[in-house]
Amino acid sequence: MSLDKLFDSAPEGKMNAVRITQDHKISVIETTIPKISAGEVLVKPVCCGICGTDLHILRHGFVGTNYPVTPGHEFAGHVVAVGSEVRNVKEGDFVAVDPNVVCGTCRWCRSGRPNLCIHLSPIGVGRPGAAAEYVATPSQNAFKVNEAIGHGIAALIEPLACALHAVESSQGIKDRRVLVLGSGTMGLLIALTSKAFGAGSVTLSDPATAKQNIARQAGIEDARGPESLNGELFDVVFEAAGVPAALRQALQSIEKTGALVQVGVHDADAIASFNPFKLYEQEFRFIGSNSCADKFAAAVDLMADIHDKASLLIGESFPVWSFAEAVQSMEAAKSVKTQLRFS
């Protein structure tokens, strides 16, 4: 048997997929199963998370979105076919997928900042995502995971990688006072990562008492409403809510020489203001943290240590073809993480 035949085991024909059009409508369509190249793998998703990026794509538009688009970038599944040049995974492997498809050759990729690639085309944004029966990905983006941790937990590895990048972007949190504003998935994972990396204390602030309770269950004892911060100052502040009020509070909560890490995704045309004299006088740093950079492998390892706590974030799940209903549930904040199931 030729090598071409050996590796040419990909499913063929049609599949169903969720589609979002530029006029912000959701539908389920029949489309062709992706054809994989020599360096790609075909994954059959088993779980996919919905996050704020998906809401931006649906409601307002998001930079880099190639409409009509199949959403879904937080996912895990089984490899069902591999290209002829793939050696890192094989058919049947259970994988979590880094959605950031990059060129690998631009200055940002070569400097270890693939999230800033000038040719970045993320799965679920610039190319078809995982809200479908099958999704194609470059093999280097597929990371083998112990399936025993659970499908929902595996689908949380992508946001955990983003949290890891945010924590490392702060330029050091060991023994420092940390404040996280926003207790959605990103905020809670940043809080858990900060504790794992040796923060002196971690405070999580969110107006939703239900989310405060989940944070406490996950081991973040100091979880409270923003009104109770009372002018306290922190060495590192993570703005993970993506709303103007949280950013304003973050700017008021930084200790001298501290760091504010902007993680929350605001609207692309949002404008914020700050006091430049305070920045000068107090020598704090204002840092952006975008996506997961090169932290996916590290997130796979860290998830093995914190999966019990991370599991508390997972709330309602919906059949993938009920995408619109799942979005409504997420917008109603009925749980921290809303996920799509495929069985």
Between CA 51 and CA 188, with CA 26 as vertex, the angle to 5 degrees is 10
Note if 53 is an active site residue: yes
Going by C-alpha positions, the residue among 277, 231, 221, 227 that lies closest to residue 254 is: 231
Active-site pick, 21, 31, 56, 137: 56
Burial, 189: exposed, middle or buried (Cβ in 10 Å; 0-12, 13-18, 19+)? buried
Active-site pick, 21, 24, 31, 53: 53
How far is the C-alpha of 22 from the C-alpha of 335, rounded, in Å? Answer: 27
Q: What is the secondary structure of 215-235 as a DSSP string?
A: HHHTT--EEE-GGG-TT--EE
Burial, 244: exposed, middle or buried (Cβ in 10 Å; 0-12, 13-18, 19+)? middle
Distances (CA, A) of 96 to 44, 80, 253: 11, 14, 36
How far is the C-alpha of 93 from the C-alpha of 149, rounded, in Å? Answer: 14
Positive or negative CA dihedral for 315, 321, 323, 328?
A: negative
Note if 105 is an active site residue: no
Distances (CA, A) of 24 to 28, 55, 205: 13, 10, 32
How far is the C-alpha of 125 from the C-alpha of 63, rounded, in Å? Answer: 9
Please answer whether residues 56 and 63 qualify as being in contact, where contact means their C-beta atoms are separated by less than 8 angstroms: no
Q: Which tokens belong to 246?
A: 């949280």
3-state secondary structure of 280: helix
Q: Looking at the annotation, which residues are catalytic?
A: 53, 56
